[in-house]
Amino acid sequence: MTENLPTPRPARSVAVLGTGIMGFPMARNLAGAGLEVRAWNRTRAKAEPLTAHGVRVTDTPAEAVDGADAVLTMLYDGPAALDAMRQAAPALRPGTVWAQSTTAGLGALDALAAFARESGLVFVDAPVLGTKAPAESGQLLVLAAGPEPARTVLAPVFDGVGGRTLWVGERGEEGAATRLKLVANSWVLAVTNGTAEALALAKGLGVDPHAFLDSVAGGPLDMGYLKAKAELLLSGRLEASFATRTAEKDARLIVEAGERAGVRLDVAAAGAERFRRATEQGHGDEDMVASYFASFDEG
């Protein structure tokens, strides 16, 4: 797919498809970095506030990508990303660099890469690590795999949304960045569910949750993520930085990837079920530490 890329130059315009919890601040930060940004979201009203930041909000994916130097997809899952790109197809130019940042998993990667190949696009596998806060501050970690020329094109894009870019491969279709993202997410979800279950057990046993946090404070079992997630839960401020229903989706992608590799992931599978129960109890749009409620019959 690299043969379609003309002499590379840093992107001056970018289309952002998907302006949810992550895509919205990413588009805003890209505009703040001086790029011409056009954004599309399935529900236009959610993208409309971006106009105040100089982003042109479009009605269709095709309008967003028309003439763009680069396209960035940040949608719910692989099928949603593929659907948006198919809608954009009439306006996509051969040689356009596509940074695919949706957490799509390995199962969807083949179809996404095949679409890029058929459309003459330069495919860059580019998931990000980080949730709402680092997305807001432009400090995401971009995990990327793609050909050398595409790196020049995407430099201002990745610099606009992230604090660091880690290139882990030269062929996006091989999914090196996606595989790393799944490994990292498996740890994030395990820590989140571990925090939620420990606090649920504390409640069940009549233990002050702050006593638990104090017992590990400053030691090898302490970590910033434990404190942050516990604070969200104990304060009742469960505004999603990583929604429970999305965590379930990611957990199932992790289990699926393990199955493809012959690796049994019992903890990830159990975690997916906890996220499912919490979502069923009405906590799907809250922060994923709401898996806490899955420990009780009444959520």
Q: What tokens appear for 30 in the block?
A: 């890209």
The pLDDT, as a whole number, for residue 299 is 61
End position of a domain, from candidates 125, 141, 174: 174
Report the catalytic residues: 181
Phi, psi of 157 (to 5 degrees): -70, -50
Name the pTM for this structure: 0.94
The pLDDT, as a whole number, for residue 4 is 55
The answer to whether residues 160 and 30 belong to one domain is yes
The pLDDT, as a whole number, for residue 6 is 62
97 DSSP β-pair partners: 70, 122
Domain that holds residue 89: 13-174
The pLDDT, as a whole number, for residue 252 is 98
The answer to whether residues 152 and 230 belong to one domain is no
Q: Structural domain tally of the chain?
A: 2
Phi, psi of 147 (to 5 degrees): -70, 155
The pLDDT, as a whole number, for residue 1 is 47
Three-state DSSP class for residue 69: coil
The answer to whether residues 73 and 153 belong to one domain is yes
User: How far is it, in rounded angstroms, from Cα 170 to Cα 149?
Assistant: 10
Number of helices (H) and strands (E) in the chain: give both, helices first: 12, 9
Residue 2 resides in a domain: no
User: How far is it, in rounded angstroms, from Cα 186 to Cα 183?
Assistant: 5
Strand pairing category for 122-125 and 97-100: parallel
User: How far is it, in rounded angstroms, from Cα 90 to Cα 79?
Assistant: 19
Kindly provide the residue ranges of all beta strands, DSSP E only, lying in the chain, ordered along the sequence: 13-17, 36-40, 56-57, 70-73, 97-100, 122-125, 128-129, 140-145, 162-169
User: How far is it, in rounded angstroms, from Cα 176 to Cα 75?
Assistant: 19
The pLDDT, as a whole number, for residue 3 is 47
Residues of the chain with pLDDT under 50: 1-3
The answer to whether residues 170 and 205 belong to one domain is no
The pLDDT, as a whole number, for residue 290 is 98
